[in-house]
Structure formats: C-alpha cells, structure tokens
Amino acid sequence: MQSTYRLFYSTWEILVTLCIIFTAVSIPIELSFHHHIFGFENSKWLVAFIFLLDLFININRIKKEKRRIKCDDIENKEWYRTSVLFTDVIAALPLDLLFPLPVFRLLRLFKVLRLHHIVVAYQHSMIKYAGSFVFIVFIFWLTLALNALSCGWHGLQHAHFHGDFISDYINSIYWTITTVTTVGYGDITPETNAQKLYAIFVQLLGYGVFTYMIGSVASRLLRKDPARVRFEDNVDGLISLLHFKSLPAPLRNKVMDYYKYMWRNRLGYDETAFLESLPNNLQQEVALHLKREIIDKVSLFKDANETFKREIALMLKSVFITPNNYVCKAGEQANSMYFVVKGELITLSADEKRQLTQIKTGDYFGEIALLKNKTRSATIKALSYCDLYALDKESFDQVIIKYPHIEKLIREIVEKRERNYHG
C-alpha cells in the first residue's frame, strides 16, 4: 500500500513538473508574442484543472503523513502551510478564466516556486550525483530565465518586429544572450528609456550570473576529494617523519604502496566514524545495509532474525591487511572472527611450510573463536591487499546474551564443524 502511494505521488509530481515547465515557458510567450505553443489555445483550462487538483492532493498528502509520523509531519505541515500552500492557492485560482487580463495569467507563474521545492527534493534524493545535478538544474533555470527575458524584450521593442513568431523569438533570444553575456554587437539596440532601463537590468543580471558561475566553478575546483585529502595528509606525515627518523627503503615503499592503494580504491573515509555520527537506529540500518551481503553468507547466522543481524552488523569493525602480512598466527589467543570483503588469503600450518586452504572474497574464518576459549590452530596470511570485517568475542557476547536460542544454534554448528575438522 505504501509503495503504491509513493508511486502515485512520484508520477503525479512528474506530471505537475511538466505542467509547471509548460506554464513557465508558454505564458511569457503568449503574453508577449500572442502565440500559443503547439497551438494549445485551451491549455489554460487543463493547467487550471491540474493546479487545482494538485492543491487538494498535497493537502490530503499532509493529512495522511500526519497520521503516519506525528512529529515530523507537524513540521512538514507547517512548512507546506507557510512556504508552498500560499503559492499553490494563488496559482490554482481560475481568475484568468473569468477575467481575461494579463495580470491574472501571470498569477499562474507563482507555481514556479513549487517547482523549486520539487527540484530541491530531487537533489537531496540524488545526492550521489549532486555535482552533475546542480549543473543541470542551473542550466534549466537559466533557460527559463532567458525565455522570460526574451519575451520581456519583445514586449518593449518594435523596430525588429516582423510578425513571424519564429523570427521574432530568435531575434529576442539573440538580443538577450548577447546582452546577458555583455557582448552586445550593437545590431539591435535599445531606443526608448524603458528599453534602456531593461537593457541595464539584463546586463546587471548577466554580470551576476557569470559571477555566480565563476565562483561556483572555483569552489568545486578547490573542494578536494576526501580520499585524496587523506592521501596527501598521510604522505605529508611520512615526509615529516623521514626528516627526523630513517626508514629502510623497502619499508618506506611499503608504506607508500599502502597509501596509494587506499586512495585508488576510494577507501579514504572512516566507516566507523561515519556510523558513529548517526543516531542509533540509523546506525543499525546503515550498518546492516553495508554488511548484509557478508552476514547472509555466514551459515552461523542463517537462522538468526533481523534484529540480531542488525546488532551484529554494528559490531563488525573494518580491518585492513597488506600483502604478505599476517591476520593471525598459530598459537595466538583466538578472540575474533573475520569476514573477507575483498582480497585473497591462505591458511598455513603452524610451521608455515604447508598451505592448507585458500580464503577468498566472501569467505569467513575464525568462527570457533566466538564460542571457544582456544588458541589459533593455523596461520592466516594475506596474499594481496585485504579488506576484512572483524567480530571480536567480547562484542559478540554482548549481543548473543540477549538471544539464547540463537546461541544454541551457533554452538551446535561450531561443534559440528569441529567434529568434521578432527574427523
């Protein structure tokens, strides 16, 4: 039911958005050129109906959401009442149908403010592509502005009026772009005081637009990628260390290789710090989403419920191992289980002379450490850069004490694995 409601509202928003864009383009053209786009002379009736229906749909939506989430929707209702409801009501009034005056047609343009809220909402939902989306939105608003300014200029000038819509519109767009960009070839010039004042306004507006563009581009160029920032900070730290301490060349190269790998693989963020910045309920949801694929592959947890998996996901800590280094060695106290997110490892005998098994992405090892107080029976060595999740026994015990039936199931699986291993 909820998904159907969201699908309906998303589809309706797309329809309203197209209607608003059509209105924002067609009304200035209609008032300035006395021309109906695509010949839709009766489009104002359709627009009036959609805007009026949209007003009632939004009011009904706020009421439904108020019943669903009380506290957040009180804020949403207040936001709608103060910032959107007024413009929705003005745009929905059928005054232009009752009184054929230009000023009443212009009231429909109040709906453009609603378009701003729709665009901002989509921008928040497409945060992954925020940079590209901001550029597209800027071009979109600039196009609407150029159309409106061109229509304004056509309404003021008559020297280049041909009576042909296409030619007149192209001339108006041409003048607007050359004026906004401060090129001004001089072939179309303002003559009356009104035209001169309008030209001054457009030039100042163009100056402001280009100032914004240059500032925005400069800001984005200076805004560094977090992974690159961390890489450069790490390299600076290494250089500072080498001024006071000497490191052998092979070890220095290993450190640099590690920094480069972390940067190239976009690992310049701290997952734990990010999760800790969220409230507890969001921490569990995000952690489970990031780690579900790994957790679902573990047979120990296959019968566990969703709540248990959420808590376990929050306990998993990122571990990074460089090539030819050890995760653990035979004889060490076993106190953690590991999940391989990416990389390749091998299991070696205690004397490291014999390879027992190979561990790849998606595998896990060390599960016996969660329930048995034992030492490691084998050595685990990384063959490549390895990203792991570690679940230590202390954290596991804090969670499992609340789920005795799951503990019983896991204990049975571990004991069966031990029998098979020794058998």
For residue 98, is it within any domain? yes
For residue 395, is it within any domain? yes
* 167 in the same domain as 19: yes
CB 382 within 8 A of CB 324: yes
For residue 271, is it within any domain? no
For residue 247, is it within any domain? yes
User: What's the number of domains the chain is made of?
Assistant: 3
Taking the complete model, does pTM exceed 0.85, yes or no? no
* 242 in the same domain as 190: no
Residue type at 233 in one-letter notation: D
Rounded to 10°, the helix 306-315/393-400 angle is 160
* 248 in the same domain as 118: no
* 101 in the same domain as 35: yes
CB 417 within 8 A of CB 318: no
CB 413 within 8 A of CB 299: yes
Query: Rounded to the nearest 5 degrees, what angle is found at the Cα of 380, between the Cα atoms of 375 and 385?
Result: 145
* 61 in the same domain as 153: yes
The parent domain of residue 386 ranges over: 279-422
37: domain CATH number? Answer: 1.10.287.70
* 69 in the same domain as 6: yes
CA 323 remoteness from chain centre:
34
Helix/strand/coil (H, E, C) string of the chain? CHHHHHHHHHHHHHHHHHHHHHHHHHHHHHHHHCCCHHHCCCHHHHHHHHHHHHHHHHHHHHHHHHHHCHHHHHHHHHHHHHHHHHHHHHHHCCHHHHCCCHHHHHHHHHHHHHHHHHHHHHHHHCHHHHHHHHHHHHHHHHHHHHHHHHHHHHHHCCCCCCCCHHHHHHHHHHHHHHHHCCCCCCCCCCCCHHHHHHHHHHHHHHHHHHHHHHHHHHHHHHCCCHHHHHHHHHHHHHHHHHHHCCCCHHHHHHHHHHHHHHHHCCCCCCHHHHHHCCCHHHHHHHHHHHHHHHHHCCHHHCCCCHHHHHHHHHHCEEEEECCCCEEECCCCECCEEEEEEECCEEEECCCCCCEEEEECCCCEECHHHHCCCCECCCEEEECCCEEEEEEEHHHHHHHHCCCHHHHHHHHHHHHHHHHHHHC
* 212 in the same domain as 336: no
CB 149 within 8 A of CB 61: no
Q: Per-residue confidence of the chain (423 residues) as pLDDT tens digits? A: 556 767 887 888 888 888 888 888 888 888 888 776 655 566 778 888 888 888 888 777 766 655 544 444 444 445 555 556 777 788 888 877 777 777 788 888 888 888 877 777 776 666 656 667 777 888 888 899 999 999 988 888 765 556 678 888 888 889 888 888 877 677 778 888 888 899 889 888 888 887 877 777 666 655 556 666 777 777 777 777 777 777 777 777 777 777 777 766 655 556 666 777 777 777 777 877 877 777 777 766 776 778 878 888 888 888 888 888 888 888 888 888 888 888 899 988 888 888 888 888 878 888 777 777 778 878 899 988 888 888 888 887 887 787 777 777 777 777 776 666 555
Distance CA 109, CA 24 (A): 6
For residue 272, is it within any domain? no
415: domain CATH number? Answer: 2.60.120.10
* 326 in the same domain as 214: no
Tell me what pLDDT residue 75 has: 45
For residue 270, is it within any domain? no
Distance CA 389, CA 210 (A): 49
**Backbone phi, then psi, for 256, in 5-degree steps?**
-65, -40
* 106 in the same domain as 247: no
* 134 in the same domain as 92: yes
CA distances from 375 to 331, 369, 379, 410 (A): 5, 8, 11, 19
CB 58 within 8 A of CB 115: no
Closest CA to 367 of 293, 423, 295, 284: 295
Closest CA to 263 of 235, 302, 300: 235
* 203 in the same domain as 243: no
In the block, which residue shows the tokens 């952690």? 287
Query: Rounded to the nearest 5 degrees, what angle is found at the Cα of 310, between the Cα atoms of 306 and 315?
Result: 145
Distance CA 181, CA 206 (A): 6
* 129 in the same domain as 73: yes
Partners of 336 in the β-ladder: 392
Distance CA 379, CA 328 (A): 6
For residue 43, is it within any domain? yes
For residue 244, is it within any domain? yes
